[in-house]
Copies of this chain bind each other. A is one copy, B any other.
Amino acid sequence: MSSETLKSIFETRESQVRSYCRSFDTVFTKASGSEMTNTDGKTYIDFLAGCSSLNYGHNDPDMKQALVDHILGDGIAHGLDMYTDTKAQFLQAYEDIILKPRGMSHKIMMTGPTGTNAVEAAIKLARKVTGRRNIISFTNAFHGMTMGALSLTGNAGKRAGSGNSNAGLTGVTHMPYDGAFGDGVDTLEHLRMMLTNPSSGIDAPAAFIFEPIQGEGGLNAASQDWIEGIGKLAKELGALVIVDDIQSGCGRSGTYFGFEGMDIDPDMITQAKSLSGFGLPFAALLIKPELDIWKPAEHNGTFRGNTHAFVTARVALEKFWKNDSFQQELADKALILTAGLQAVADEVHGAKLKGRGLMQGVDVGSGELASDICARCFENGLIIETSGAHDEVVKVLAPLTTPTKTFQTGLEILLDATRSATAQHKIAAE
């Protein structure tokens, strides 16, 4: 069928809520590694990677093979939270490859297979454990769209989806993230003054929740000092620390977790997006064992423990994280990315580099320009998106496995698009 014929059904039957298809207005059929192909056979370099859900690229051959073997062998597809060999093997790999080498004692909770579900589980447990209600969240945070996670989310447009003046989004205090008030202002000090003043009106916190690098919020990377400071403040106040590593985890920041190498020991860590390795729905919550006071099924969900995802997730761990080599590649690639983005930034007056590791971008100063750049990229075969409160950041979330050449090609398309967009804007302004 032609692309147009295929597309008519979306117009007729899919809800208006659909979104990315509006920026990338074509019908995709196949994808491999860092490239996606549409119905016309045109190939695009993918610098979006399912919003960091495809850190290892599309259809990784090893995961693909393991998954097909599993399916053909009548392996369990859906097992609720019953014991399966597949789950045991995933847990064992996670223990051996991720937890033990990092000295982490956390237990793993299989939540419903969406990031927002892991966040909901985390805040429920934080309230249950502490007997407190208030969760401290931060400006520009994005934690999900279900009511609990949405209450933590900063974006006014997303919050408005809940209706009624956001009346259900309670139990959360929103505070300035690192850098939210500009370079000179120490938001951690602000936080401390509000939370240690017994007359501030801010209730004692059950937990702090933050993203080490804010994805949707504009690729804001918190400094090591700030992250460590949050950890210390939480301890002083008897509050828990929840790191939402859904977008920044699984290598995206340059290490497996977004907070590695820092002096912080999170009570809970949310994981999703690239956890399955293959783009399959999978989310989990890491919980310090002493906080694991759930009663059986006290938080559950039909698709918790997506068995297909266990298969690919295990392969991903074994393939990429058994030793340091992948992490070293990431360090190299981050340098390439920074250099490429610096070239882009040099084209735009006042532009700033944002982010860290393989989660970087350029704040080009306006959502209009950023959007124009991305549109020009797409015309030229590059899938790339914006983020930030005003959509002002052009964001690179390429698969971590992107071959250097492809990576360079993508960055060149971006640079060209930026040049033509800024030229156009200059003409328009004259």
How far, in whole Å, are A167 and B134 apart by their CA atoms in the complex?
Answer: 9
New contact pairs (5) apart from A14-B109, A114-B301, A156-B204, CB-CB < 8 Å: A17-B296, A78-B278, A124-B161, A164-B165, A272-B302
A201 touches B137 (CB 8 A): yes
A22-B296, A76-B58, A281-B281 known; A139-B82 Cβ under 8 A: no
Q: Give the shortest distance, in Å, between A122 (CB) and chain B (any CB).
A: 12
For A1-44 the 0/1 string (1 means CB < 8 A from B) is 10000110110111111111110111111111000100100000
Does A146 have its Cβ within 8 Å of any Cβ on chain B? Answer: yes
Question: Which residues from chain B contact A138 at a C-beta distance below 8 Å?
Answer: 201
Question: Which residues from chain B contact A86 at a C-beta distance below 8 Å?
Answer: 29
A303 touches B278 (CB 8 A): no
Question: Which residues from chain B contact A20 at a C-beta distance below 8 Å?
Answer: 80-82
A163 touches B124 (CB 8 A): yes
Chain A residue total in the interface (Cβ 8 A):
161
A197-B139, A273-B302 known; A28-B84 Cβ under 8 A: yes
How far, in whole Å, are A139 and B71 apart by their CA atoms in the complex?
Answer: 40
How far, in whole Å, are A53 and B79 apart by their CA atoms in the complex?
Answer: 10
- The 8 Å CB contact of A197, one of B85, B127, B140, B293, is B140
Does A244 have its Cβ within 8 Å of any Cβ on chain B? Answer: no
Question: Which residues from chain B contact A77 at a C-beta distance below 8 Å?
Answer: 31, 58-59, 278-280
CB-nearest residue of chain B relative to A48? B80
Question: Which residues from chain B contact A132 at a C-beta distance below 8 Å?
Answer: 164-165
Question: Which residues from chain B contact A91 at a C-beta distance below 8 Å?
Answer: 9-10, 13-14
Does A155 have its Cβ within 8 Å of any Cβ on chain B? Answer: yes
Does A153 have its Cβ within 8 Å of any Cβ on chain B? Answer: yes
Question: Which residues from chain B contact A141 at a C-beta distance below 8 Å?
Answer: 199, 201
For A29-69 the 0/1 string (1 means CB < 8 A from B) is 11110001001000000001011011000110000100110
A389 touches B161 (CB 8 A): no
A161 touches B294 (CB 8 A): yes
Question: Which residues from chain B contact A76 at a C-beta distance below 8 Å?
Answer: 28-31, 36, 58
Question: Which residues from chain B contact A107 at a C-beta distance below 8 Å?
Answer: 13-16
Does A217 have its Cβ within 8 Å of any Cβ on chain B? Answer: yes
A133 touches B164 (CB 8 A): yes
Does A157 have its Cβ within 8 Å of any Cβ on chain B? Answer: yes
Interface stretch (choices A173-181, A250-258, A415-423): A173-181
Does A97 have its Cβ within 8 Å of any Cβ on chain B? Answer: no
Taking CB atoms and an 8 Å cut-off, the chain A residues in 203-243 that contact chain B are 203-204, 206, 217-218
Taking CB atoms and an 8 Å cut-off, the chain A residues in 303-329 that contact chain B are 303, 306, 308
How far, in whole Å, are A114 and B304 apart by their CA atoms in the complex?
Answer: 9
B199 touches A301 (CB 8 A): no
B154 touches A12 (CB 8 A): no
A171 touches B167 (CB 8 A): yes
Question: Which residues from chain B contact A153 at a C-beta distance below 8 Å?
Answer: 201
A157 touches B127 (CB 8 A): no
CB-nearest residue of chain B relative to A285? B15
Does A351 have its Cβ within 8 Å of any Cβ on chain B? Answer: no
Does A298 have its Cβ within 8 Å of any Cβ on chain B? Answer: yes
Q: Which of A13, A146, A197: most chain B CB closer than 10 A?
A: A146
Question: Which residues from chain B contact A144 at a C-beta distance below 8 Å?
Answer: 301
A134-B165, A147-B148, A201-B159 known; A78-B64 Cβ under 8 A: no
For A105-149 the 0/1 string (1 means CB < 8 A from B) is 001111011111100100011111111111001111100111111
B164 touches A127 (CB 8 A): yes
